[in-house]
Structure 1
Amino acid sequence: MLVKHFYRLLLLPIVLILGGCNLVLLNPDGYVAKQQSDIMISTTIIIGLIIVPVLIAIAVIAWRYRASNTQAKYDDKWDHSPQLELLVWAVPLLIIIAVGAVSWTGTHQLDPYRPLDKISEHKPVPANIKPLEVDVVSLRWKWLFFYPAYGIATVNELAAPVDMPIHFKLTSDTMMDSFFIPALVGQVYTMPGMQTVLHGVINKPGDYKGFSANYSGAGFTDMRFTFHGMNQKDFNNWVEKVRAGGHTLDRTAYDKLKQPSRAEPIHYYAHSSPDLYERILNRCVDPGQMCMSQTMVDAMPSRGMEPASAHGAAMH
């Protein structure tokens, strides 16, 4: 009976692996996410090279030296084996080195701040293609997307052409959040007054889920959006649909939009203020506020001049 249960346990990892075949993290449609998936799978297999034999050895030893097995040979004088010591220490060390090498090279190649040099495994980024610029702002509890090249903005809906590199610039209005589209690219944090960067590309048309992976309060579970991967023609039609929305996103509209809300519906803005994202980033949306970038420049001494004394600074 024990052997039967043991074989069932051996089949459990296979069942779990097969059950996860449709998980987007293991089968994404974006080139960057696919590389991240490959790293996860590779490191899991490498680590399994030591974990699985150890688990099997535990079961075999427990079965072989059970109390009822009087035929098992037991040497009470044995206390050391150089070969076993070498196996016990060398194999884990080699596995740690292998996992470290895979992780180090992978994380440097997939640095979110690093522009893409390929859009798929065998296809470099064409020289004549410029990345699609998208500015992202996390609000309570919704997502705001600016398309600077098109002068439009959307809430809780994002779209991009297939095989088009995407350059995200991200910030937050109030609190720390996490921008995550599992099919496209790994998550990156958004923080007030700071900007993070993310590069990605989607390789297949489809509708994909995006959400915040960082708890941010009561409306956290509703902080979701849809990402559309489209061919170029459909993307152009989508842009025209947004432009047909007729609304304008200016300071007044933004003040209303940034108020906390749950399950916010999709909004389209045919026009958005060109400097609104930068003002959100620099914490100076309201009239009369000094931007953080201006504050830092104002605090720096002029080139070629000594820093102002405390008295001089006060006079200034």
Structure 2
Amino acid sequence: MNSPPSLYRRAAFRWLLSLVAVSAFTLLSGCDRLPGFLNPGGPIAHAQREHLGFVILMVMIVVLPVLVLTPWLVWRYRYSGQASYRPRWSFSKLIDVLIWGVPVIVVGVLSVVLWQKTIALDPYKPIESDKTPLEVQVIGFDWKWLFIYPDQGVATLGRLILPTDRPVSFTLTSATVMQTFFIPALGSQIDVMNRMVTRLHLIAEREGDFMGRNIQYNGEGFYKQQFTTQTVSQNRFDTYIDQIRTQGHTLDQGAYALLKAQNTWKDVANALSDDPPPPAPMVAFSQVPDGLFHAIARHQPVDWAGLAESSDAASNTSERAIQERNTQ
């Protein structure tokens, strides 16, 4: 006849097993709603998710026996009373080989795979494609990111707009302290440092809005340094660029002073607007000084004098591009 403590232990075990099964089913059934690289928006994040799954499976080779055998050992040697007392037993060659051999093999396999993945997912490694990469210059401020599109002559704050199925080549620097640029759904994070330039290559394979942020603690407002990465079709991307060229602000000395201050991109949006604005998706700049990124990276003066001269050329280029697209 089972004693009450034994019945309680069995009921608790069944409840715990049911909870694990329900949690696993819920997690697997909601894969489309998982955040970050667990719901990848590009091949880099997809490869990282596969690598995480492989690491978990390899670690389970060591962890699962511990999780399974520990309750069994407790039950057998503490509660069942069926274990034999052998005080002179001291060594088992098989157990010794398993205890040391299995972890050595697991660590060896993980080391080789990690080395291979580190090379394959090197953030400096360009992504092979038949399309020309989109150049994006990223500057980290307190507590916001400025995204410059040098070939298009525009910049955005608070929202990074990227075309799908086209490689993106990021060049990154910091105007203040060390930061970490990370878009979990697209993959690799990269450190961004003052007076240094780092590189990152990503590609989006589906349209959507993905959260990006700074994950390097560097002050009281670091958690506010977030942005939205919007991946769209190439045609829609071109439309966005045309809208920015016609509706964006000028990144002059006044706007740059706002960027240098410790505030968020929403604070910059409020300061640049004459009327109390509705919640804006981003701040757009239609005119950006030539060489702004390299001037900040090298701590050189910004050529504000050439901004007025380049604005007329930029507007003419924008009008010409719109006319050419409308005639196609």
The answer, yes or no, to whether TM exceeds 0.5 is yes
TM-score, normalised via structure 1 length: 0.82
Q: Describe how 1:39-188 pairs up with structure 2 within 5 A.
A: 39-66=51-78, 68-117=79-128, 125-126=129-130, 129-188=131-190
Among the aligned pairs, what percent are the same residue? 35
Matched position secondary structure for 2:38: coil
Q: State the partner residue of 2:194.
A: 192
- Structure 2 counterpart of 1:130, one-letter code: T
Q: CA distance change for structure 1 residues 10 and 186 in 2, over 3 Å: closer, same or farther? A: farther
1:270 is paired with a residue whose SS is: strand
The alpha carbon displacement at 1:75 in A equals: 2.0
Contact 1:47 1:99 in 2 (8 A): no
Q: Match for residue 281 of structure 1?
A: 297
For residues 135 and 15 of structure 1, what CA distance do their matches in structure 2 show?
A: 45
Whole-angstrom distance in 2 between the partners of 1:195 and 1:15: 47
CA distance in structure 2 between the aligned counterparts of 1:270 and 1:154, rounded to whole angstroms:
9
| 1:137-169 Cα shifts (integer Å, max 9, x gaps) | 010111100001100011111111111101101
Which residue in the other structure is 2:27 paired with? 19
Aligned amino acid, residue 27 of structure 2:
G
In 2, Cα distance between equivalents of 1:261 and 1:23 = 27
Q: Which runs of 5+ in 1 are unaligned?
A: 118-124, 288-316
Amino acid at match of 2:185: A
Q: CA RMSD in A?
A: 2.0
Structure 1 residues 270 and 80, CA, compared in 2 at 3 Å: closer, same or farther? same
Which stretches in structure 2 are left out of the alignment for 5+ residues? Answer: 1-7, 270-281, 304-328
CA contact (8 A) 2:292 2:302 kept: no
Which amino acid in the other structure matches residue 94 of structure 1? Answer: I
**Which range is displaced more, 38-47 or 278-287?**
278-287
Aligned length: 278
Return the offset for 1:25. Answer: 2.5
Residue 317 of structure 2 corresponds to none
Q: Which deviations, in whole Å up to 9, do the C-alpha atoms of 1:190-228 show, x marking residues without a partner?
A: 111011111100111011111111122232222111111
- Quote the offset at 1:279 in angstroms: 0.1
* Higher helix proportion: 2
Equivalent residue for 1:4, pick from 7, 11, 24: 11
Distance 1:49 1:23, change over 3 A: farther
> How far apart, in 2, do the equivalents of 1:246 and 1:143 lie?
17
Q: What is the CA deviation profile of residues 233-276 of structure 1, one whole-angstrom value per residue up to 9, with x for unaligned ones?
A: 11111111111224222445323322111343421111211211
For residues 43 and 227 of structure 2, what CA distance do their matches in structure 1 show? 21
Q: 2:204 aligns with which of 202, 205, 211?
A: 202
